[in-house]
Amino acid sequence: MGKAIRSLLSFNKTETFVLLILIAYCIFVSVVNPNFLGVANIFELLRSSSWIWILGLGAFMVLLSGGFDVSFTSIAIASGYISVIMVRNTGIENLVFVFFIAMIVGALFGAINGLVIHFFKLPTLIATLGTKTIFIGLMAVMVGVEAINTADMPEFFKTFGLRHVFTIQSETGARYGFSVFIIPLVILVIITWFILYRTLIGRGIVALGNSEEAARLAGFNLFKIRMFVYMYAGILAAIAGVIAISEVAWIAPLSSTIIGMELTIVAAVIIGGTSLGGGKGTIFGAIIGILLVRLFETTLVFIGINASWFNFFVGLVLLLVLAVTSIQNYRTRRRMLLY
């Protein structure tokens, strides 16, 4: 058990650098505005970030395999919206049913990504840029694109986001709840860790990310690995979609803020130390990268900076991390040449 925890939390020099930035930023914000570290803010940050972390896990898996997926936000919207329509049409407001429908759709869309990338030999960015639009189109054909407000939303999606694992009462009598959204996040982190570090396909994902030719020569079935990676990313996106809809209890599929977040999430995962070229990265790094980006997004107003500066700070940190990684790689290559 101890070894499992150590491997989950293991991080390299890049992740150490990002972790130091994260800690320094938290200290700075808490000094400028002491309310930042309040229980209410922390619980709300965890609640609102849970589905983003889940999307990040999927993006992390794809990047680790050497791919670049920009369709996962469309899968999240399409899967979540289709599950809403299915619940409205069938009247089955059951936790298992809702997630099952969404996950089936997510897996099917992920399979389309895997098939297109493997058989057409397209660059993953180009392929998923195309399927991103296709998935929204398929959703429109299957169930339409009607916006559903809170009043018309199935009861499950209105109440699921209000549930708490536990609540804390402050000295003033205010109650703060630890959102139930954290449970699927923790479960998926553990499952993803197990896949990567305890299964043959996990080793195949890393091998594929390092070198496709070397992975083939090592005997890995590249088709199966790619199909697994993109179907798993699709399932994660579907789960995130259900949670995101439950958070706000309404959905406008063609104007959702989720669509358009894919590059920010991928950037956050890269900030956490995952290599853009594949084969390198950790779950812990992806988590802290997303946390840092989320803190930028939600706390700029705490320190009196206009929220429009968010993209600037994300880009700045991304460049710093890439520069540090480049220097580390240069030093490693130089040592190898010397010895």
Amino acid identity of residue 244, one-letter, is A
- Are 225 and 180 contained in the same domain? yes
- The reply to whether 291 and 317 lie within a common domain is no
Check if the beta carbon of residue 160 is closer than 8 Å to that of residue 103: no
Tell me which H or E stretch contains 193: helix 182-198
pTM, two decimals, is 0.92
- Domains identified in the chain, total number: 2
Q: What are the pLDDT digits (tens) for 21-73?
A: 999 999 999 998 888 878 888 889 999 999 999 999 999 999 999 999 999 99
Note whether residue 37 is domain-resident: no
281 and 326 co-located in one domain: no
Q: Is residue 253 part of a domain?
A: yes
Q: 268: closest CA among 55, 125, 48?
A: 55
Residue 233 domain flag: yes
Percent of the chain surpassing pLDDT 90: 68
| 323 and 225 assigned to the same domain | no
Q: Are 84 and 245 in contact (CB under 8 A)?
A: yes
Q: Quick one: 63 and 141 in the same domain?
A: yes
Per the CB < 8 A criterion, the answer to whether 111 and 227 are in contact is: yes
- Domain limits at 241? 42-304
What are the backbone dihedrals phi and psi of residue 80, each rounded to the nearest 5 degrees, phi first? -65, -45
Query: HSE on the CB side for 62, CA within 13 Å?
Result: 32
Q: Note whether 105 and 236 are same-domain residues.
A: yes
Instruction: Examine the domain organization and report whether 280 and 168 are in the same domain.
Output: yes
On whether both 310 and 334 belong to a single domain, the answer is yes
* CA separation for the pair 299, 307 (Å, rounded): 9
Query: pLDDT digit string (tens) for 142-184?
Result: 999 999 999 999 999 989 988 888 888 766 666 778 899 999 9
